[in-house]
Amino acid sequence: MESRIPTSNSRLGFMFSQFSRCYFKVALIIIFSILVLASTFLEYQSGVFYSRSQFTYFTVVLDCGSTGTRVYVYEWSINSLTSQYLPKLMRTYPDDSKKNPGRDGSCQYHCMQTEPGLHSFVLDSSGLIKALEPLLQWAERQVPSERHGDTSVFLLATAGLRKLPSENVNWILRNAEDLIRRHRFVYKESSIRVLSGQEEAYYGWVALNYKMERLGRSYKVPTLGVLDLGGSSLQFVMETDASREDTHSIKSQIGLFEYQILARSLQAFGLNEAFEKTIALLANSQVLSGNISNGFQLKHPCLSTGFSMNYSCYDCLQSNLTVKGASSGELRSNLSTLIYLVGDLHWEQCQHITRFAAINSSFMEFVTGTKLNLTSLPVARFHALSGFFAVYSVTNLTPRANLTLLVDAGRQLCSISWLELKKLYGNRKYVERLCFQVTYITSLIDDPLHMGSVEIIFGPGDVSWTLGAVLSEGKNMLKNPKAQASSFIFKNMEVFLSSPILLFTLFLWFFIVILWARFRCTMASVEGVPGKKGAAVEASIPTFMHSTRQSNNILFASEQNR
């Protein structure tokens, strides 16, 4: 039998097979190297390249309320490696630890403000400028100048403008926008507007739960309810069960989870409007004495004995009220100087009138219509903010004090004379109303809300609905997890490609691997060709070739023996 000598075609095919196997192995090595380098980079990025994956931005919010206009500046940080679908709040300006020229005794908690509210400047351009320009200039000083061009500004008005006619509101917003346009901050048309009561309430809920780290987690936790008291309105917000849907409910997707939220804003239940309500009640139950030019005297049981002042109350007197010696037309044209308030402190009467101010038909329709069972809802506890916190802070009680202690603190405040009250709280705005304010918030919690047995914490004082508005409306909104994941990939790819050291290392590694592969595959193809001799060649031949060569040797030996 003749031995079979390999042809040139079989040698070429064998060499091609050797090349293919060799380069397949090289490709696997390269892919594995890329994966190792990428994973090492991501780990290393949290250290040396941390600053590249993290960036900050600023937002400015003008809160145009009924008592004044406040400005807040927020500094945010987003880290693509550690983000939980929400930006991280780094700082809030003004800071309570610093002395600010725009703060005085009238600003009780974390604010820089001008007074009065913007609703007082209808058709008054100079007054509007004086109210807004100092706040915008102050905000510019808090934001680095090179960041002004990418800093968003919001002007959001609440109850003070909600009660104005639409033409007056449009005039104020249009002129406010003209003023903002003179600054380098950026804004959208929708960023300058009047919030609905429900929006204001919802933003307060977002702000509190973000601040208390109840949002943006990988697992859902019970949220916190909000009681937010302003000058004109009261906000009541809480998470409800998913089956509940009505006109006051909001479905909100925040991070990984959807929330069903009951958000209600109750007009005329703010501290200032409630006080005017008590004056209206007293004016219709007392015999007024005096005359139009000097004002009519009105005794108030919630004002300290020895206190007196002229009080402008434009809507306090009912149309059926008659005053001896004054016609109805004369009476209504002089409402701003009509009432001369006199303190006539009486604790029980003060309790009675504040309770009456806290309850009316519209409030009771809300409470009875909602039919809430607070114990069955996913609410950990309630926090009382803004006006609640500002009033509560004068009692020196702990944030978790119960209703009984609050009532006792109110009784003690209502026993202090006007002179002593001024010594204790002289720089505070509306210091003469402290007795009324403490008694009123007690009445709100106990009577219409029926929350005397519910855990309520007063504060924190630095939480404002403006924080929730920025989170919801800013350019970095409450992000969808898929969008966040996509952003993570692209952002790290940018960092990966922008690192010269990493790219040089990567190309050097590929160059070495390619040189080695070329040498190794060339040697393998030469050593593996059939017919080559040598010990080294034998060592490099695949195992299946050994059996073939052994059979050929046996046949050749047998032919020689013949």
In a domain, 305, yes or no: no
Q: Which residues are known catalytic residues? A: 200
- Do 42 and 86 belong to one domain? no
- Do 79 and 162 belong to one domain? yes
- For residues 212-229, average pLDDT: 89
- Do 186 and 96 belong to one domain? yes
In a domain, 252, yes or no: no
For residues 140 and 457, give the distance between their C-alpha atoms in angstroms, rounded to a whole number. 35
Give, in degrees to the nearest 5, the angle at Cα 154 between 153 and 158: 160
For the cut 70, the answer to whether the pLDDT of residue 534 exceeds it is no
pLDDT, tens digit, 9 for 90 and up, residues 66-112:
889 999 999 999 865 445 568 889 999 987 545 454 444 445 555 79
Position 383 confidence tier, pLDDT thresholds 50, 70, 90:
very high
8 Å CB contact between 420 and 434: no
Range of the domain at 83: 54-194+476-482
The total of other beta-carbon atoms located within 10 Å of residue 245's CB is 10
- Do 22 and 137 belong to one domain? no
pLDDT, tens digit, 9 for 90 and up, residues 302-332:
999 899 998 887 665 554 344 444 444 444 4
Say if residue 232 carries a ligand binding annotation. yes
In a domain, 125, yes or no: yes
In a domain, 463, yes or no: no
Position 388 confidence tier, pLDDT thresholds 50, 70, 90:
very high
- Average pLDDT, rounded, for the chain: 76
Position 488 confidence tier, pLDDT thresholds 50, 70, 90:
very low
- For residues 278-285, average pLDDT: 84
Strand (E) or helix (H) holding 71: strand 69-79
Residue 219 pLDDT = 80
For the cut 90, the answer to whether the pLDDT of residue 177 exceeds it is yes
In a domain, 503, yes or no: yes
Last residue of a domain, one of 449, 482, 515: 482
Say if residue 77 carries a ligand binding annotation. no
Residue with tokens 């009984």: 404
Strands (E), 390-492: 456-458
Say if residue 387 carries a ligand binding annotation. no
In a domain, 140, yes or no: yes
Say if residue 233 carries a ligand binding annotation. yes
The token pair that represents 414 in the structure block: 């209502």
For the cut 50, the answer to whether the pLDDT of residue 63 exceeds it is yes
Q: Can you give the CATH number for the domain in which 68 is found?
A: 3.30.420.40
- Do 165 and 43 belong to one domain? no
- Do 42 and 134 belong to one domain? no
- Do 15 and 98 belong to one domain? no
In a domain, 62, yes or no: yes
Structural domains counted in the chain: 2
Residue 79 pLDDT = 67
Name the more confident of 391 and 3: 391
Calculated CA dihedral for residues 511, 513, 518, 519, nearest 10 degrees = 110
Among 31-45, 264-278, 307-321, 433-447, the minimum mean pLDDT is found in 31-45
Last residue of a domain, one of 432, 451, 482: 482
pLDDT, tens digit, 9 for 90 and up, residues 238-272:
998 766 666 778 888 887 788 999 998 888 889 99
For residues 437 and 350, give the distance between their C-alpha atoms in angstroms, rounded to a whole number. 10
Instruction: Transcribe 196-264 into DSSP letters.
Output: PHHHHHHHHHHHHHHHTT-SS-SS---EEEEEEE-SSEEEEEEE--TT---TTEEEEEETTEEEEEEEE
The token pair that represents 480 in the structure block: 């969808």
- Do 182 and 85 belong to one domain? yes
Say if residue 191 carries a ligand binding annotation. no
- Do 134 and 23 belong to one domain? no
Give, in degrees to the nearest 5, the angle at Cα 147 between 145 and 152: 120
For the cut 80, the answer to whether the pLDDT of residue 113 exceeds it is yes
Whether pTM > 0.75 for this model: the answer is: no
Highest mean pLDDT among 46-60, 77-91, 343-357: 343-357
- Do 504 and 521 belong to one domain? yes
In a domain, 531, yes or no: yes
- Do 95 and 189 belong to one domain? yes
Highest mean pLDDT among 190-204, 482-496, 517-531, 546-560: 190-204
- For residues 496-512, average pLDDT: 67
Classify residue 193 as exposed, middle or buried by CB count within 10 Å of its CB (0-12, 13-18, 19+): middle
Residues 6+ apart with CB under 8 A from 197: 159, 162, 233, 235, 264, 265, 266, 267
- Do 108 and 182 belong to one domain? yes
Last residue of a domain, one of 482, 507, 523: 482
- How many percent of the chain have pLDDT more than 90? 41
